Structure 1
Amino acid sequence: MKPKITVIAPVYNVEEYLEKSVSSILKQTLKDIEVILVDDGSSDASGAIIDDFAAKDNRIIGLHQVNAGAAAARNTGIKRAQGKYLYFLDPDDWLEKTMLQKMYEFAEEHQLQLSIAGFVNEYYEKGKAFSVKNVMPRRIFTTQNDFRLHAHEYLNNTFLAVPWNKLYKTSYLKNHHLEFPQVKWDDLHFNMEVIRNIERVGVLDIAEYHFFRSRPGSETTKVFNEKLFANRIQQFKHILAVYDDWKISDKAILMYVYNYYALRMIQLTQEIADNNMHISQKKSYVKKVLADSLTQSAFKKGKSNKGLIGLFMIPYRLRMAKTVLAIGKVISFVKAHFSVLFYRARIHVQKSKE
Structure 2
Amino acid sequence: MCEISIIVPVYNVEKYLKKCVDSILKQTFKDFELILVDDGSPDSSGAICDQYAEKDSRVKVIHKKNGGLSDARNAGIEVAKGKYLGFIDSDDYIAEDMYELLHNNIVRENADLSICGIYHVYDGKTPENKPEKYMILNRNEATVLIFHGNQISDHAVNKLYSKKIFSKLRYPLGKYHEDSFTIVGILDQCEKVVVDTRQKYYYYHRDDSITSQAFSKKHLEYITAWERNEQKVLGRSEVIDEAAHQRVCFANFLVLDKIVNADMEKKVPETKTIVSYLKANYMFIMRNQIFTRNRKISMSLLMISLKFYKIPSMIQNKWINKKNE
Identify the TM-score tier after normalising by the shorter chain: 0.7 to 0.9
Contact residue 145 and residue 152 of structure 2 kept, 8 A: no
Work out whether 1:140 is the aligned partner of 2:136: yes
What corresponds to 1:17 in structure 2? 16
| 1:106-132 deviations in Å (ceiling 9; x for gaps) | 1111111111111111112xxx23212
| 1:275-295 deviations in Å (ceiling 9; x for gaps) | 254x7446x653332123xx3
What corresponds to 1:88 in structure 2? 87
Aligned positions, number:
319
What corresponds to 2:284 in structure 1? 301
Partner-residue secondary structure (3-state), 1:210: strand
| 1:256-300 deviations in Å (ceiling 9; x for gaps) | 3333233332222222222254x7446x653332123xx345543
Contact residue 273 and residue 326 of structure 1 kept, 8 A: no
What corresponds to 2:314 in structure 1? 329
What corresponds to 1:203 in structure 2? 195
Contact residue 95 and residue 210 of structure 1 kept, 8 A: yes
TM-score with structure 2 length normalisation? 0.88
What corresponds to 2:56 in structure 1? 57
AA aligned to 1:66 is K
Match for 1:262 among 249, 255, 263? 249
Measured on the aligned residues, the alpha-carbon RMSD in Å equals 2.8
TM-score with structure 1 length normalisation? 0.81
Match for 1:186 among 172, 178, 191? 178
Residues in 2 aligned to 1:81 and 1:162: alpha-carbon distance in whole angstroms: 20
What corresponds to 1:275 in structure 2? 262
Q: Which runs of 5+ in 1 are unaligned?
A: 336-341
What corresponds to 1:37 in structure 2? 36
Match for 1:286 among 261, 271, 279? 271
Work out whether 1:235 is the aligned partner of 2:221: no
Aligned CA distance change for structure 1 residues 91 and 312 (closer, same or farther; 3 Å): same
Aligned CA distance change for structure 1 residues 69 and 219 (closer, same or farther; 3 Å): closer
Q: CA deviation at 1:185?
A: 0.7
Q: CA deviation at 1:243?
A: 1.8
Residues in 2 aligned to 1:15 and 1:214: alpha-carbon distance in whole angstroms: 13
Contact residue 115 and residue 166 of structure 1 kept, 8 A: yes
Residues in 1 aligned to 2:178 and 2:314: alpha-carbon distance in whole angstroms: 29
Residues in 1 aligned to 2:197 and 2:257: alpha-carbon distance in whole angstroms: 32
Residues in 1 aligned to 2:241 and 2:282: alpha-carbon distance in whole angstroms: 12
What corresponds to 2:300 in structure 1? 314
Aligned CA distance change for structure 1 residues 247 and 309 (closer, same or farther; 3 Å): same
What corresponds to 2:150 in structure 1? 157
Aligned CA distance change for structure 1 residues 216 and 64 (closer, same or farther; 3 Å): closer
Q: Which runs of 5+ in 2 are unaligned?
A: none
Q: CA deviation at 1:227?
A: 4.3
